[in-house]
Chain A
Amino acid sequence: GEDVEQSLFLSVREGDSSVINCTYTDSSSTYLYWYKQEPGAGLQLLTYIFSNMDMKQDQRLTVLLNKKDKHLSLRIADTQTGDSAIYFCAEKRGRNNDMRFGAGTRLTVKP
């Protein structure tokens, strides 16, 4: 399809790991991103991965990229209540300069 797709909701307990999944559209996408949006706020860049990598780790965040399946995931270890937000997956396609975003996954962390 033409859309970046994400599941809409995820609920986890505090201290558990969260895994947010995304499928993107363009095999020529050069960079893939995860952004976090809290209520009433803009988007905060969390992490990104270049398309020639298959994993990137940054503190509690682990990004996995399966280029063959055009599948991207974000794992948050030891999820905290402050991680509750909407998480957007985005791709920067080939020679274009725009980014295409998914609809976002709302992560709820229960105490």
Chain B
Amino acid sequence: DTGVSQNPRHKITKRGQNVTFRCDPISEHNRLYWYRQTLGQGPEFLTYFQNEAQLEKSRLLSDRFSAERPKGSFSTLEIQRTEQGDSAMYLCASSLGPNSYEQYFGPGTRLTVT
């Protein structure tokens, strides 16, 4: 399977702990996106990368959130000092490049903060 993969699929953590999620995009895709989806809502854009460069960040991405894509392949999203409001599905998507209009999504990581 050469689709977008995400790990872990589920994460339960206590409030105040740090968590890190990983996304592996489709191998030849240069662009990688992170979205957050809360229950009953559509995904909301968080940030995206063109290769290793983080080009855009949403105002939803508070200082407790940091994303990296160090070698332009996989990406990590870290949330520090988690809060209950961070509970959501975190979705990763990738696309071929700047002129590509198709984003392909991974299965998501469901975070529950207790």
Contacts and interface: CB of A to CB of B under 8 A. Distances in A.
A44 B4 CA distance: 11
B41 interface: yes
Contacts of A103: 40-42
A50 B99 CA distance: 13
Contacts of B104: 45
Interface residues of B, number: 23
A99 interface: yes
Interface stretch (B12-20, B43-51, B76-84): B43-51
Interface stretch (A52-60, A72-80, A90-98): A90-98
Contacts of A111: none
Contact of B102 (A48, A88, A102, A104): A48
B101 A43 contact: no
20 contacts: A4-B42, A35-B105, A40-B107, A41-B107, A42-B105, A43-B93, A43-B105, A45-B103, A45-B104, A45-B105, A48-B102, A50-B101, A90-B42, A98-B48, A99-B45, A100-B45, A101-B42, A101-B43, A102-B42, A104-B42
